[in-house]
Structure 1
């Protein structure tokens, strides 16, 4: 068993804390905690791994390929791999836990460039 200490980092839209990642000893699953303030939204992008988002506080809206669904605290959102998506705070602040398989990368529409997710490494 490995017990980790959260590794914090910031983006323009959120504060993240890596909980289980390859650099922290996990070999198959990544998890991180994300905190987003009212009005915050992430960029439009796609991830090449399925993600499960578990809001602990507040409410998030996920727009996936043009369809928007709200997910309040205590529920879960399963975001398919490869789908264009955007996440936004509906009611916040929001704290959520996100899980995905190791090795995920992000792309933005119109670009073939793949970007690693630093909080999942």
Structure 2
């Protein structure tokens, strides 16, 4: 029995999965009904907003490097590193002169919010 036979939900673009999209930097339709999986590409010298997500996220860096301010603690991750960001903790992601590419996984339907606002939204790449 092959690995694919044991895991019928395994996704592979070569299997002509109609949910596969390779024309977008984030792939919001990947994953199952419980898990969203997407690709993040951020150019050099960028800083994202301070925000939180209501579920754990797992980031695997496939190129470049980034810094994550995780509730006041600075973490640096580079190619080959995996970082687990806990739920409901303030975070801000930034790049240096290298930029980065990462594959991120989180619970499908996860909501994001910003400090000082009661509004939370499901980002389109997690929906």
Range class of TM-score, shorter chain: 0.7 to 0.9
Structure with bigger gyration radius: 2
Quote the RMSD (CA, aligned, Å).
1.6
Greater share of strand: 1
TM-score by length of 1: 0.84
C-alpha distance in 2 between matches for 1:99 and 1:91: 25
Counterpart Cα distance in 2 of 1:74 and 1:52: 13
Q: Between Structure 1 and Structure 2, how many residues are aligned?
A: 111
Displacement of 1:17 after TM fit? Answer: 3.4
Runs of 4+ in 1 over 6 A off after TM superposition: none
- 1:5 paired with 2:21, answer yes
Supply the distance in 2 between the matched residues of 1:53 and 1:59 (Cα, whole angstroms). Answer: 12
Query: Which consecutive unaligned segments of at least 5 residues does structure 1 have?
Result: 9-14
| Distance (whole Å) between structure 2 residues aligned to residue 91 and residue 81 of structure 1 | 28
- TM-score normalised according to structure 2 size: 0.80
